[in-house]
Structure formats: C-alpha cells, structure tokens
Chains A and B, each alone.
Chain A
C-alpha cells in the first residue's frame, strides 16, 4: 500500500501525517489522531455518524473520504466546535431540548446541524428535516433534534444581530 505525506488541520491544530492510500479520514481521525468523537456507524455513508466539517461548514461523511485526498484541508469535529469552553449554539440547543439519547449519532447530527444552518440560516422545519437526511438516529424519532436545530438557528440569528 502506498503512503502519502499529508498535512491535516483538525480543530485548529496542524498535523503532519503519513497515511496509507486506503485509509479513510474516519480511520485517521480515530486511530492515528486518537479523536474518538467521530463515530463509525456503517462505513458506507448511510448513517452520518462519521460526519465532520470541511473548511468550517461543509459536512462530509468521513467514512467515505480517503484521508490522502484531504491534504491541506481544515477539518472540524464535534469536539472542535467548542470554543474556550463554550459550546456551539447547536450543541447547546441539543442540550436544552434533550435532543440526545444514546448519543452515538449526536456528534454527526451536531455537525450536520451546523452545516445546514451555515447554508440556510433560517430554515423551515421541512428544510431542517431534509438537511438531516443521511444522518440516522434510532432513538429520538428526530423530534427533539429538529427542534434543537430550529432553536439553534434562531439563537444564532439573534447573536448575529
């Protein structure tokens, strides 16, 4: 297996890494960088548990992304959304709305929420639901997750004013 020297910026820190051609971003984050907040759910891009942000606000499935293709890119995981001990408004809204049960989909859901609000700061309920497609939650029926993303959008709009 050929190897690639890449530089990956994750949550603000820069890492010079040598990665095998077949290693996914998910594997590199979890196994090489010891960042377990990005979860393996299916490995086939169906469940969204492995979602991370590229360049701040675009959510991708890290299980479908070869790490070698991410040279020079900036990655943000759920843990990296916290700034100076302050949770991201989406994370805070998940807490306020009890939008978490087993929590395994949560880091990916939070990342999805951040991404969809970046694209559409004032989404309708239907737009939130469609924006969350590709992320599976088996615990909540999505009710409180949708409420949380909606509330986060509103909170962020107020903060931006």
Chain B
C-alpha cells in the first residue's frame, strides 16, 4: 500500500498538466456520433428473426394480497399466444434481484442478514404491480390481450405503507426470514451495539450549550432514466442462455442468472447494449429473471420484453423513503459536541440490497464533520410499495437534507455564519473517512467553498437577504458533502483489464466497466491512450460482452474512473513496458531512455534520430517470419498483451459544496431557483466537460428531490403518479443559472490524481436548496420535497420571519 502511494505521487509530480497528451482535454466522446444520429443500439432496438414478445401479468387490484387461484386458460387460447407461464411453470428457486449480496463474503452476507426471497412470479403480491404470471406471444398486442384475460382470485391483505404499520405485532409477515418485517438493522456483530460512531454521546449532550432535534422525511424519488428497461433473451440451439440488457452491472448479473437457472456461467451470455441512463435503477437485475425464464420456456426462439414507462416505474427500484431523526449538541462557540441520529427506511416489498442503504446513510453522516461524539442507528422495514434500491448518492442526499438543515438551525441559534462553521468543522486529510476505517487522502473543500462563495456572491447576498419585506422573499443557502470513489473498504472492489496491441500497434482494451451515459468509456480510453503513449484514435475499448470481458463490478459507488481507470492504467503500463523492452533491445538502450511520438515511433530521448516503429515491433511479434537469407526470425515473437486483476486498497472521496439562491413567492408557495453554484474537488479532471456534465445533471436531480419529486400512494397502496404526466421534474426552462467549478487537487491514489464525480452532483443541491428556503422564509421544512403546498401551510401555521 505504501509503495503504491509513493509510486503514484512520483507519477503525478513528474508529469505537469501541459505534458499530458489527452488527459484534461475535452476529447470527442466515443459514443457521441451514433447518439446524435440515433443509430446507437439500445436494448429495445435489438430485433432478432422469429422473435416473440413477452408480457408480465401484474396485480393492479391490490398492493398486498395472496393469489388464491390463477386461471391462465382463457389467456392461452388467444390467437398468437405461444405459452402462458404461472409460478409453477418456471424455476421455483428463490433469488434476490440485487447484486449487493454478491459483494460480501458468504459469512459477511450472513451476518448482514442478506436473504433471497423473490420468485419469477409470485403468489404473495407485495406491491402494486407485482408480477404474477407471464405470457409469450407472437405480437405485443396478442400478449396484452391475453394478459387481460388472466383470471385471478385474490385474498386481500392489510396494506402497510409505513415502517410503523408493518412493524405492528399482528402484521402479516412479508417473509418468515425477517420476523417483525424488520428487513434490516445494523448488525451487532459488525457494528457493536448496532450503531456507528464514537464517543459518549449522552454525556456530551449534557455538556452542550445548545441541543436541537427533529424528525425529517425524505421522499421516494424515481431515477427516471430516459430509457425504460427492455430485454431480448434467447435460449439458443446450443443450449446457451443469451440476454441482451442494459444493467449497470453486467458481470454480476451474468453470475446471478447462471445461479438462478443453475447453468455454468460459460453457458450464459450477457450482452450489455448501449444504456439509456442508470442512476442506480439498473444496479442489479430488474426484469432479467423474467425474460430469461420466458426464453427458457420457448427454446430456440428469442423473446423480447419491453416495459411501458408506467410498468418500468413500478418494477425498477427507486430511492428509499426515510424517516430520519436527528439530535445535535453544540457548545456556544459552535463546537459540535454530539450527533445522534436514526434513519428508518421504507424498504418496499422485497429485500434487494436491504443491508446496504441503512448503513451507508450513516456512513455519509459520520464522514462529514468533526463531531466530538456521534451515534447513528439505521434500519429498514418492509412496506407494500414498489421496491427500493440504489439511486445516485445512496443515502447521501437523505443525510444531506437532514444534517445540513440541522447545522443551519444550530448556526442560526448560535448566530454563527453557516459558511464559516462548515469551513471550521468539516473533516480534513487524515481524519477518518465515511466508514471510519481509512483516512481521507485529499481534501480541497475550503477552496471549493471559497470559489463557490465568490462566484455566487455569498457574503453580500446573505447579508442583503437577512431582512426583507414584501411577498417575494429571497434566500441563499450552502451545503457541503463528500462521497466515495469505489466501494473499498466496505464491500468488494475488483476490475480486470486486458490490453492487446494489434499488428499495427493500435490497442484494444478489454474491460467490463459500464458506460451508462456518464462518459466512462471516453475517459477510460483517454487514460489508456495517455499511458500507452498512443494517439486516441488508436485505442479502442471492448466492453459489454460477458464472453470477452473479465470480471468487473459494474457502475456503482462512483467507482468506474477511480477503480476501473487504475486497472486500465496498470494494464497499459505493463503493455507499454513490454513494447518498450523490445524497442530497447533493438535500439540497444534501456526502457527509461525511451519515449514514443505521435507517429508511434519509439525513440531515444537524448538522440531522437535513433528510433523504431511500434507498429513494426507489434507486427513482427505476431508474424515473426524467418528472414529468407539468414533464417533468423524477425523481431521478438508473440503478440503483446497485458492483463491485470486490480483490487484497490484505498479510496479517495471527493469533497464538494453547493450554493443555491432562491426566491419564494409567499402568496403561492412557489420556489424559483435563481442560481446554483457547485464546486467539486475532483482531484483531476480527465475530461472537464464530462465532469461538468455529471454535476449539471446531478443538480437537476438534486433540485428535483428538494422541491418536487416524490412517488405518491393512495390509502390502498396504489401508486398515483407512475408517469411523466403526473411525476414532475425540472425542465429546461425551470433550471437556474448554473456555474459548476472543478477544483483540481490531485489525489495521491487516483489515476492521474482523479477522484470520483458521478453521484456527487446530486447530493449538495438538496441541502443547499432547503437552506436557501430557510433563509428566505425563516422556516425549516422537515418533510421533503418542499412543495408549494407545504410552504403555504407552514407560512399559515408559523408566520413569516422578518415581517
């Protein structure tokens, strides 16, 4: 670990920014031409000859019920229907659609309490839209017609829409593996006392000058990735199961499908198509088990499963809603003496990644500030709601909404500037990071805050808005955060990469890292080209093919550039070294004396007239002809290929801040976001426009979480807004003026000093918006999202400050 660190430092200090050929440049994205033309192939665009269409029959009558009887005979009689499938017609094996359980050892997963309790089709409906049967037909119309003719008799069960309701002693049990419908709580064996933190919290509160506490609610937000989940599956004539899909984690899905259908992984082929957005909605499997079960039922014929938006909404996981209690203790001078918190999460109908979310919500809490003492407890209870799973930030936006408002409340009570408080008390290099196990390796949060404050005019506006009259009130708020770069040391990290030099010294990089729109294939290619010393056009990534690619975890935990990028860099360093070793032999010098130019000529640095073509070395390696005159072999034999299986032993969280300025119409309750400034300490921007893109898109989702986005239910547990008509997001004309600042402070571990940027952009706009509304109205809103109705109601109840 120490060696790796020194080596990395040398690399960064040795190469100045200007020396980079492609790192730091806004290169053309590798996928962009086909995307502006529309020729990029997404899963729904895959069409195979003789293709059938699948349809899952869903329960829309009840959010909680038992299937008493299921009669598929009328459906089977519809012309064009090839097969109808009930629970008994497919594997009875229980599984877990999430892949998080694969990322912990078996004993750890056991300690965490991970379970497998899902079935392809269920006889215990646990949420509105749960799947009970399947239809395979020659057309979508026939499948839909048949689905409408499925005769089901249900025994309705009580509907539980809150943890309190499902935890009641007489409540129907979701699974006998989780008594009391408690899906998860921090396990004692891993976190002593079932809690995170440090110090004597209760004692610290006794010594505090100010103690504040409140209970918040953070909403069930939907990722709304633009491409609904679609699939094609084929159980082919050679007995292989093929699945074209758009999971963020194709290799783990590969293993999950093989396990579920009890086939060797070599007999399962997963092809990741172009992915139309993820944000966590496709972290594990969504409908892969269903479509593969259908394909297995009709050997030799491909089955396509396309979900309408409304159905995709119900079947892909959303953000966990949470009830989040927090109590803070401060000394008069602002010293944060104690933090006590508990988040109780609404799990939805199935367990999925049950062990992870309630944990990480607390990790982000303990990672942010230097509290003298801290205690966090987290749990999740089953509810009759569509499943919850990963959504960009993974608990961090929830914590941001709560913690950052509470900090501002404390600062207001103590009359301390909230910006200065944050600068004084945020964690620094050397402090323990979010898991409380490894120290922060780099932190430029102060610079983020300084640049952000300057860009938005914090000091002037904060002072100006301190006293206002009139119906429209302005406010400015700040929020800070940090996130992660990969999942180490929490759960599994590993990326394999193979680099092959072709006969002309161009390179093929085989790596399973997912491009889900975030631009990772473009930035990984830049890392490969920079490391190999090859022109960008000479480097191609080959990804998304479970036959060709080795192991990788996939896109989650903001890991792809940080972990995948390092894997690519290491493999490319090896390939370059092999190439240079052959050149050194020919030029009778050492590797260190060599460099490569833009024409792929390897030359001696001190005497550039001594050079050899990289293409010749590579061609000779593959062809290795014998010289007809001498009989000697030309060149050194063997194609150059390098391989690494990289498992990081470090993590470099990015730090970031957001400032938001709002205007609240106190007569209508409407919030107009006037300006947003985010600054991120990203270590090094491999591709600045791609980094900005993550921050810009994250802001749209963060503002949405703060102000308007929530899935609603009626009393029966029916979802009332599972469409873009009823679930509103910010459109182009709703977005504020935005400034996104990249603060470059190379990290000792990240590839070329880079840290992550993927999820972070969503996090701090949430707290900053709430804090801006706090300044504008003098009211804190504990129940997200902060809609006009809630604002009007609060003004009515509490009155406006500064009137």
Contact = CB atoms under 8 A, between A and B. Distances in A.
Contact of A41 (B36, B47, B278, B309): B309
B282 to A, nearest CB: 11
A40 B228 CA distance: 8
Interface in B1-53: 26, 28-29, 31-42, 44-45, 47
B518 A101 contact: yes
Contact of A34 (B47, B224, B699): B47
B700 A138 contact: yes
Contact of A106 (B36, B693, B725): B36
Nearest to B698: A141
B279 A138 contact: yes
A38 interface: yes
Contact of B693 (A91, A104, A110, A139): A139
Contacts of A139: 226, 277, 517, 693, 697
Given A40-B44, A100-B36, A144-B689, A105 B226 contact: yes
B38 A38 contact: yes
Contacts of A95: 28-29, 32-33, 36
Interface size class of B (residues with CB under 8 A): 35 or more
B39 A141 contact: no
A53 to B, nearest CB: 13
Contacts of A128: 732
Interface residues of A, number: 52
Contact of A79 (B39, B697, B740): B39
A15 B233 CA distance: 31
B723 A91 contact: no
Given A101-B697, A140-B693, A78 B37 contact: yes
Nearest to B733: A129
Contacts of B695: 141
Interface stretch (A2-10, A44-52, A66-74, A153-161): A44-52
Interface in A76-91: 77-79, 81-82, 87, 91
Contacts of B223: 138
A100 B36 CA distance: 8
Contact of B276 (A34, A102, A135, A142): A102
A39 B38 contact: yes
Contact of A87 (B36, B274, B309, B516): B36
Contact of A46 (B31, B692, B696, B725): B725
Contact of A101 (B309, B519, B732, B738): B519
Contacts of A49: 226
A58 interface: no
B37 A133 contact: no
Contacts of A47: 226, 724
Contacts of B587: none
Contacts of B733: 126, 129-130, 132-133
Contacts of B738: 141, 143
A104 B701 CA distance: 17
Q: Which of A39, A81, A134 has the most CB of B within 10 A?
A: A39
B309 A100 contact: no
Contacts of A141: 695-700, 735, 738
Contacts of B226: 39, 41, 47, 49, 102, 104-105, 136-139
A91 B34 CA distance: 10
A104 B277 contact: yes
A85 to B, nearest CB: 11
Contacts of A143: 692-693, 696, 735, 738, 740
A102 B32 contact: no
Given A43-B308, A98-B689, A141-B735, A103 B517 contact: yes
B227 interface: yes
Contact of B724 (A42, A107, A144): A42
Given A44-B724, A145-B732, A94 B32 contact: yes
Interface of B: 26, 28-29, 31-42, 44-45, 47, 223-228, 274-279, 306, 308-309, 516-519, 689-690, 692-693, 695-701, 723-725, 729, 731-733, 735, 738, 740
Given A79-B37, A97-B689, A133-B732, 20 more contacts: A36-B42, A40-B306, A77-B38, A95-B28, A102-B277, A103-B31, A103-B34, A103-B40, A104-B225, A107-B35, A128-B732, A132-B732, A135-B732, A138-B279, A141-B696, A141-B697, A142-B700, A143-B692, A144-B692, A144-B693
